[in-house]
Structure 1
Amino acid sequence: MRRGAMLVGGLVFTLLLAALPGWVTGQPGKAILEKHCGGCHPLERAVSKEQSAEAWAATIERMRNFGSDISRRQARELAQYLAQAATRPKAPVAYVVNEDIHEIWAIEMTTRRIVAKIGVGQHPHGIALSPDGRFAYVPNMASNNVSIIDTERNVVIGTLEAGKNAHDAAVTPDGKYTLVTNPSDGTVSVFETAVHPGSQHVHHVLGTITVGRTPHIVEVSPDGRTAWVTNMDSGDLSILDIAGRREIARVPLGKGPHAIAVSPDGKRLWVGLYDEGQVVVMETGTRQIVARTPVGRNPYAMAFAPDGKTAWVSNEGSDSLSVLDAGSGAVIAEVTGIREPHGLAFAPAG
């Protein structure tokens, strides 16, 4: 998450933010790029390359010599477009899950305008973005699969088979793995979602890991080696070796562990106990519980502020947010009047 305002999902189930390229809006240069170059070259890579219009014109002329049917007028427009694209401001976009209508909405944050409504599987729930923002992974509870969204075009480009009631997703910082919880199976699905040479993305199922009863939320460590999974019905936390695809420990926490967030330095894990109205703080190195703090009823989601000084908790049952000091774990503020707050996230800079 990046510095900025906080967004809270009430009617939606979760929300993630991405800084998508500003060139997503319709322009002649973009249309030429998609038509003549998109089949061979990743568009995001092309527009991120910084060079002058003259340098781009020379590159495009070589393409023409190799048989490209771009006209000279189109070549000039495309060269100007590509020269400007790398320095063009990025448009922050929020991806919002609408479970009941089976859609993901892309909302431009500066204008609050819905720029896309993307149909996915049945009853989508969580959502996770690849580190480069190129793909969004959406678990679909009733379809038992994961929709892959290309955020450049805001379309579904494929699905991955998951377990029963696929619920939440998390991606490792290097983008190599995506993990999805399957509450009705008591498992976590592991997918390869890596970028290979030539910027080719690969998506396929690697396997599953058995965890506790009714796993809900998964969080990945900053180094990408470890994942933590809250098991609501067994009242514990599964600790996973991601590369080894195995559970290495299970820590008892209390009734209904659900919300989860790791501190930016990776040293502490914060877990909300949905059935106890409490937040538990665990040292990740020793796996020792160092704090238990009462919050509102039914803490559902949790996120750290960008500066890492506070943790925010959405209390679904008490229509409130609790703000906790990251050092002491104590509640330092409460925000009320938010009806059944669900997912939450912090907006990027701007």
Structure 2
Amino acid sequence: MIRRSTTRCSTMRPLFLTFPLALLLVLAPAQPMPLWGSAAPEPQGGAGEAADPLNPRVYVTNQDDATVTVVDAVTLELLETVDLREFGFGDYARPHHAQVEPDGSAWYVTLIGEGKVLKLSRENRLLGTVETEVPGLLSLDPDRDLLVVARSMTAVSPPASVLLIRRSDFTVVDEIGVLFPRPHALTRHPTEPFVYTASLGMNQLAAVHVEDGSVELVDLPGPPHGIVQGAVSPDGRWLALTAELSDRLLVVDLADPSRPVPHRELPMADGPFEPAFTLDGRWLYVTNLEADRVTVVDTEGWETVAEVSHEAMAQPHGIGLSPDGRFVFVSNRHQAGGIHDHHGGHATASGTLLVIRAGAHEVEAVLEVGRYAAGVGVPAPPRTGGTP
């Protein structure tokens, strides 16, 4: 049952967006071919550093391969590839997004094609599964025993709700309705019990209280945006939302975390997709799916100050910051097809993981991963309590 949440809404003038049914056709991808030859830089972040089995790890979901690539976040070494078919899942499991425990003891991944969320150990043993319709992005709350799940866009009418999973025993504890269609974007407040989700189908944002289930709805002004993902600044003051359709970055004021207020907009390169703040909150990195680049925003004046590009960067999708704040990890699909479209595209090369040195805005390393590299999972910030 979906909880009937206490919901407040400033206005109710939705702007529904129409997605063609052709996006729902699943085509087998072609065999990829390398694009960048030998020009990619070798990993340098771990120069002089010995690999440590306790180093934090980065998890890259390869949506067309039913695999997840595991990378050492310190040495930038590719450690292994987890084949989800070995657990009995199919070729079209479509792993989409990942999250990691702060201590690295477990990690989580959504399988769009299987309708499941998985929990795996650091040793990649399957610890639990939860079934839910078209799971998409994940948000791990390190201060609570919670994993929140939003929805993928691949279903004609996905549930208008977010799912709350207790991580310790991996069971569903709640499902909170958010009223608007296609709740896709998902990020959490660093100190308060709120997650923020936004719609791909209308210009609305929801602040969801994960303890009492209340929901505050906020209209986002402007043309149809198609909000893909969000990120909250480390101090909890700002929420940055990527608007894929309007090519904008929407900045929302969280002075009151329960009542977000739209603050300003910035123009972005084509197809802004996922954002990530640096640990000090000074820089915001934004992947631009259709422009094949990463935009760097200086948050002191909310101005674009740099764009990172590379011959191994093609359809940059997911993004994550290393726990020590040194590196920004960017996954690249290398797919031909429509925006945010698994269906109808085909691989033009293996996916890549580009490593950008935070603050310097320079590519540090390139690793080849699987086909349709999508989500990037990195360890969450330290918890105030123990890890489930």
TM over 0.5: yes
- CA-atom RMSD, angstroms? 1.9
* Aligned 8 A contact 2:353 2:369 in 1: no
* Aligned 8 A contact 2:183 2:200 in 1: yes
> Could you tell me which residue of structure 1 aligns to residue 234 of structure 2?
222
* Aligned 8 A contact 2:277 2:283 in 1: yes
> Could you tell me which residue of structure 2 aligns to residue 29 of structure 1?
none
* Aligned 8 A contact 1:18 1:133 in 2: no
Is 1:151–2:167 an aligned residue pair? yes
> Could you tell me which residue of structure 1 aligns to residue 357 of structure 2?
325
Identify which of 252, 258, 282 aligns with 2:297.
282
One-letter code of the match for 2:207?
Answer: V
1:216, distance to aligned residue in structure 2 (A): 0.4
> Could you tell me which residue of structure 1 aligns to residue 373 of structure 2?
341
Partner deviation per Cα, 1:241-264 (whole Å, 9 max, x = no partner): 132422110100121000211001
1:202, distance to aligned residue in structure 2 (A): 2.3
1:3, distance to aligned residue in structure 2 (A): 5.5
One-letter code of the match for 1:282?
Answer: V
Is 1:302–2:319 an aligned residue pair? yes
Larger radius of gyration: 1
Matches within 5 A, 1:28-107: 92-107=105-120
Q: Describe the SS at the equivalent of 1:112.
A: coil
Is 1:205–2:215 an aligned residue pair? yes
One-letter code of the match for 1:205?
Answer: V
Q: Structure 1 pair 347/225, CA: closer, same or farther in 2 (3 Å)?
A: closer
CA distance in 2 between counterparts of 1:298 and 1:150 reads 34
One-letter code of the match for 1:322?
Answer: L
1:203, distance to aligned residue in structure 2 (A): 2.3
Is 1:171–2:181 an aligned residue pair? no
CA distance in 2 between counterparts of 1:94 and 1:153 reads 14
Partner deviation per Cα, 1:226-253 (whole Å, 9 max, x = no partner): 1000000100000011324221101001
1:218, distance to aligned residue in structure 2 (A): 0.6
Identify which of 278, 284, 305 aligns with 1:269.
284
Structure of higher RCO (CA pairs closer than 8 Å, 6+ residues apart): 2
Is 1:245–2:263 an aligned residue pair? no
Show structure 1 runs of 5+ residues with no match: 20-89, 194-200
CA distance in 1 between counterparts of 2:324 and 2:141 reads 22
CA distance in 2 between counterparts of 1:14 and 1:203 reads 24
Partner deviation per Cα, 1:38-88 (whole Å, 9 max, x = no partner): xxxxxxxxxxxxxxxxxxxxxxxxxxxxxxxxxxxxxxxxxxxxxxxxxxx
> Could you tell me which residue of structure 2 aligns to residue 293 of structure 1?
308
> Could you tell me which residue of structure 2 aligns to residue 123 of structure 1?
134
Q: Structure 1 pair 132/3, CA: closer, same or farther in 2 (3 Å)?
A: farther
One-letter code of the match for 1:265?
Answer: D
CA distance in 2 between counterparts of 1:91 and 1:260 reads 22
> Could you tell me which residue of structure 1 aligns to residue 198 of structure 2?
181
* Aligned 8 A contact 1:148 1:157 in 2: yes
Q: Structure 1 pair 91/285, CA: closer, same or farther in 2 (3 Å)?
A: closer
One-letter code of the match for 1:341?
Answer: A
CA distance in 2 between counterparts of 1:129 and 1:208 reads 23
* Aligned 8 A contact 1:173 1:224 in 2: yes
CA distance in 2 between counterparts of 1:114 and 1:100 reads 18
> Could you tell me which residue of structure 1 aligns to residue 91 of structure 2?
none
Show structure 2 runs of 5+ residues with no match: 1-53, 64-94, 153-157, 335-348, 383-388
CA distance in 2 between counterparts of 1:94 and 1:257 reads 26
The percentage of counterpart residues that share the same residue type is 20
Is 1:190–2:207 an aligned residue pair? yes
Deviates more, 1:235-244 or 1:264-273: 235-244
Q: When the two structures are aligned, how many residues end up with a matched partner? A: 269
One-letter code of the match for 1:17?
Answer: V
TM-score (norm 1): 0.73
Structure with greater proportional helix content: 1
CA distance in 2 between counterparts of 1:129 and 1:334 reads 27
